[in-house]
Structure 1
Amino acid sequence: MTKTVAAVAAPLAWSNWVLPRLKLELRGRTVANAGFATGYALAFHGRPNWLSASGLGYGLASAGVVAAGYGAAVAIPVLRERLDGFADRAPDVPFDEWIAIHIPIGTVYSEELIFRATLNPLLDNAFGPRGGALIGAATFGLWHIHPARAAGDSVLATIAATAAGGLVFDLLRRRTDSATAPALLHFALNAGGALAPHLAAAGSPSSRPASATVT
């Protein structure tokens, strides 16, 4: 039980206390998060099973559904206008770098290795599948307290939303015995959430040059 408590406490302390006090820029946070996740998985014997065929299949299918949803949102004018308002939330790094490096490594790799590959199986062993799923989801939600504060988002809403996402990610992990499926879905959600507002802003009337007026 002591090992399980430590496995729950370590990521919460890292995300909400240690990492913020390092005062790193995004590139530094990506490296630090990936390093912490790798060390955490080694210390608690994580098993991501990245090369799972079923994980890849379920992950690609889930990611495809998400991508289709974002595509529809960009295509529908009313939804595109709503997305346009989120375009200014991109971090202070090149957009391509954010999508290609910081989301997949700093967020997806780090969080899926910590939670779905390592913590959730430990919680299953200690509390059973149902208890493990609920505690794992709650811990995943609480991991986001400081990021929500830093972004100026509602902390309670963020915890609730990410905990719900954690339940879905864990369901995929259980279905495939792999962290690959939740990682692909996680990437689709986060990368799509970055790309869709960017595309919406590029396609909005206010972003287009004014037509020449013939007099």
Structure 2
Amino acid sequence: MRRIECVAALVFPLLWSNRLLPALDLPLRGRTAANIAFAAGYAKVFRGSPNWLSRSGFNWGLGSAAVVLAGYAVALAVPSLRRLPLEIAIRAPETSTLEWIALHIPVGTVLAEEAIFRGTLDPLLAESIGATSPVVGAIDFGLWHIQPARAADDPVFPTVAATTLAGLVFSELGRRSGSATAPALLHLAINAGGALAPIAARWVDGLKR
């Protein structure tokens, strides 16, 4: 019975992200609402334990986020590195950049994904399969991004590989802190920083001229 539950917990997110949600053909705000609803239902069914208010989670998360944000700051300050975000198109589909960064990234992406993967799937796998659970959960997290990569015209295999690697880091952070808050804050710093980097790079580049 436990094995069936684990298989279901692994399969449902992939069906949702790669099949069911795209089939609904919702606008961006609808997708954000649907993702949160799915995450809440998933956590309820599989007894999620994100421990959002953990002090350790905030400490680990803020520390990790600070490292990422410092990295973005260095990249913006060094001309040879600043060219990288300058070559990236500013992507804020169907909405303003402010709404994209203030709502859809933290809620529709970070909160939903961390509630599903680090708040629910990782603890379930840890109880069921032990030491290999972070790898299995990270692969599932990577495969979750197949259809989003296609929708964004991003290469699928590199996207899955990169998000699988990120999933390993997020899972380890969640394990060390005992909370999904830590990986959520790191996840937010990476995604929001990545969305802001092209805008900031263009602004800094304009000041240098």
The answer to whether TM tops 0.5 is yes
1:213 corresponds to: none
Instruction: Name the CA distance, whole Å, in 2 between partners of 1:157 and 1:164.
Output: 11
The 5 A counterparts of 1:89-128 are 89-128=91-130
Query: Who is 1:138 aligned against?
Result: 139
Contact 1:103 1:190 in 2 (8 A): yes
Q: Is the 8 A contact 2:90 2:195 kept in 1?
A: no
- Given candidates 31, 34, 42, the residue that maps to 1:32 is 34
1:14-163 matches, within 5 Å, as 14-128=16-130, 130-163=131-164
Q: How big is the alpha-carbon RMSD for the aligned residues of Structure 1 and Structure 2? A: 1.2
SS at match of 1:46: coil
1:164 equivalent to 2:157? Answer no
List 4+ stretches of structure 1 deviating above 6 A: none
Read off the aligned partner of 1:64 and give its amino acid letter. A
Normalised by the length of structure 2, the TM-score is: 0.95
Query: Runs of 5+ in structure 1 lacking a partner?
Result: 211-215
Mapped partners of 1:103, 1:141: distance in 2: 17
Q: Deviations over 1:102-155 (max 9, x none)?
A: 010000000000000100111111111x21111101000000000111111111
CA distance in 2: counterparts of 1:39 and 1:175, whole angstroms? 26
Tell me the CA shift for residue 75 of structure 1.
1.2
SS at 2:120 equivalent: helix
Structure 2 spans left out of the alignment, 5+ residues: none
Counterpart code for 2:80 = V
2:179 counterpart letter in structure 1: S
Instruction: Give the match's secondary structure for 1:89.
Output: coil
* Higher deviation after alignment, 179-188 or 69-78: 69-78
> What SS is found at the alignment partner of 2:90?
helix
2: CA distance, partners of 1:87 / 1:59: 28
Is 1:189 matched with 2:190?
yes
Q: Deviations over 1:50-107 (max 9, x none)?
A: 1100110010000000000001111111221220121432223111111110010000
Shift of 1:31: 0.5
The CA deviation string for residues 11-39 of structure 1, in whole angstroms up to 9 with x for no partner, is: 00000000001111111110000110011
Matches of 2:10 and 2:120, distance apart in 1: 10
The more displaced of 75-84 and 20-29 is 75-84
Alpha-carbon separation, structure 2, partners of 1:28 and 1:127: 35
Q: Secondary structure at the match of 1:48?
A: coil
Say which of 12, 15, 29 aligns to 1:13.
15
The 2-side partners of 1:89 and 1:201 are apart by: 14
Does the 8 Å contact 1:48/1:113 carry over to 2?
Answer: yes
Give TM-score scaled by structure 1 length: 0.93
